[in-house]
Amino acid sequence: NKDGIVQLAELTIGGDLIVLATPEIAGLPYVISGLVAAGGLAAALSTADGLLLTIANALSHDLYYKMIDPNAPTVRRIAVSKGLLLVVALLAAYVTSLKPGNILFLVGAAFSLAASGFFPALVAGVFWKRANKLGAIIGMSAGLFVCGYYMYLTYPFFGVNAPLWWDIAPISSGIFGIPAGFIGVIVGSLISPAPSKEVQELVDHVRYPNLAGDIDTSGR
C-alpha cells in the first residue's frame, strides 16, 4: 500500500526456494540442500540435452536430408545438425528469457501441442488404412493451429484475455487440438487418393507385428 512499512500480507516466497529450503527446515545438514539443487539441475540438463538432440536430428534428417538435399554427404549432414542444434538452443533460451509462464505451464503446453500435432496422425496412420500423407499434413497443421490459437486467446502472457471455452484452462488446450487434428486427418485423406497397396500392407505389419510374410515394396 506504499506506506513505507513492509507488512505480512506483502511478503511472498518463491516456490522454488521452498523446495531448496525444505531440507534445512527439517533440520537436515545444509549439504542436503546442495544435493537437492544439483539433482534438479542435472535432471533439467539431461532432459534439455535429449530434447535438443532429438529436435536437431529430426530437422537435419527429415527436413534437410529428405526434402532439401537428398544427396548431401554425411559430413554436411552432421554440420547441419550441429548448426540446427545451436539455433534451437538459442531460440529456446530466448523464449525462456521472456518468462512466458512457470515450469508447470510450459511443460503442460508442450504436451498439449505435441498431442495435438502428433497423436491424431499417429493413431490414424496405424489404425486407418485410408489415412495418407495429405491427411497427416492437414491433421497436424489443424491440431497445432487450434491448440496454439486457444493458448494465444486465453493465456494472459499474450495480452488478449479472451474468455475461456467451457472453462478449459490454456494448459489443457489439447482438448480442442486433438479433435481438430482427427478431423483434419479424415478430411485430408478422403479428398485425396488412397495409399498404395504397399503402404497398406506396411500398416498391417505395423498394427500386427506377428504377421507372416515380407512387405512388397517393389510396387508391382
Domain coordinates in residue numbering, the chain: 1-98, 101-220
Phi, psi of 195 (to 5 degrees): -65, 160
- Set of cell numbers at residue 2: 506504499
Burial class from Cβ neighbours inside 10 Å (0-12, 13-18, 19+) for residue 143 reads buried
Cα diameter, the chain? 85
Cα 200 to Cα 126: distance, rounded to the nearest angstrom: 10
pLDDT score, position 220 = 47
Cα 142 to Cα 146: distance, rounded to the nearest angstrom: 6
Closest among 124, 129, 108 to 181, alpha carbons compared: 124
pLDDT score, position 35 = 85
Q: Is the dihedral of CA 148, 149, 153, 158 positive or negative?
A: positive
pTM for this prediction: 0.67
Walk along the chain (220 residues) and give the pLDDT tens digit of each residue. 567 777 777 777 776 677 777 887 888 887 888 888 888 888 888 888 888 888 888 888 888 888 888 888 888 888 888 888 899 889 888 887 887 777 778 888 888 888 998 899 989 888 888 888 889 899 999 999 999 898 888 887 777 777 888 888 888 888 999 999 999 999 998 988 888 888 777 777 777 777 665 555 454 4
82-100: buried (b, 16+ CB within 10 Å) or exposed (e) per residue? eebbeebeeeeeeeeeeee
Cα 10 to Cα 173: distance, rounded to the nearest angstrom: 33
Cα 131 to Cα 52: distance, rounded to the nearest angstrom: 30
pLDDT score, position 18 = 76
Spatial CB neighbours of 77, under 8 Å, sequence gap ≥ 6 = 60, 61, 64, 65
| Helix/strand/coil for 194 | coil
